[in-house]
Amino acid sequence: MNSFSSWYSWTNRKDLPGSDMPGVYLIAEFDHPPVEGVSPLDRHILQIGRTGADSKQTGGAYDDFLSKRLGKFEHSATTGKKAHSGARTLSKKSLPERWEDVYVAALQFPFPSDEDVRVALSTVGLGDLDTKAAKRVLVSNRYGTWFREVERKLLEDFESKHGHLPPGNKVL
């Protein structure tokens, strides 16, 4: 069973294991570095989010990873430009004053290997399809819905406990 990683400081987010994979993430602000495990219900959470498909560029195929999505978060939070709606929402409410106090944890899932995709395609008689494109579509269909459901459940649980969503989230 997968679980959330430890908390990583925002400045060290590139060290987050699996940052080159899709997943669900938590962004939080702490006065002191967290020492306990990660709870998606922690009152310090600023945003609960997930990676997703970029339908304009990939036709709905999965083309987003934790490192890319977190980079979009910082870009939107610091510039106000469109790249990450949660960061733009947060920047209008309570953007952290110090990035040193921001931490991230993630629940990530690896992409299937190229060989796994080739075998799956061959099994259904589609062995001549482009493996890279097929992998993106496979992951989009398999994980995209699942990530949305995990994010929704975490948001429901957070709202149930605190009476509101994290400041970077607008709706369930």
Instruction: Please report the DSSP string for 140-155 in residue order.
Output: HHHHHHHHHHHHHHHH
Q: How many CA atoms lie within 13 A of 82 on its CB side?
A: 0
**Within-domain flag for 84:** yes
Domain that includes residue 65, residue range: 8-111+151-162
Pairing of strands 45-50, 102-108: unpaired
Provide the domain count of the chain: 1
Q: What is the per-residue pLDDT for 48? A: 93
**Within-domain flag for 125:** no
Q: Is the pLDDT of residue 59 over 60?
A: no
**Within-domain flag for 169:** no
The SS3 assignment for 87 reads helix
Task: Give the separation between CA 16 and CA 7, rounded to whole angstroms.
Answer: 9
**Higher-confidence position of 108 and 149:** 149
Residue 10 makes CB contacts below 8 A (sequence gap 6+) with 74, 99, 100, 102, 103, 104
**Within-domain flag for 138:** no
**Within-domain flag for 120:** no
Q: Looking at residues 36-63, what average pLDDT do you find?
A: 72
Task: Give the separation between CA 117 and CA 98, rounded to whole angstroms.
Answer: 43
Q: Looking at residues 9-25, what average pLDDT do you find?
A: 85
**74 residue type, one letter:** E
**Within-domain flag for 3:** no
Interval 106-137: pLDDT, tens: 987 666 677 776 676 666 666 666 666 666 66
**Within-domain flag for 50:** yes
**Within-domain flag for 127:** no
Q: Looking at residues 68-79, what average pLDDT do you find?
A: 77
Distance of CA 49 to the CA centre of its chain: 5
Q: Is the pLDDT of residue 27 over 80?
A: yes
Q: Is the pLDDT of residue 53 over 60?
A: no
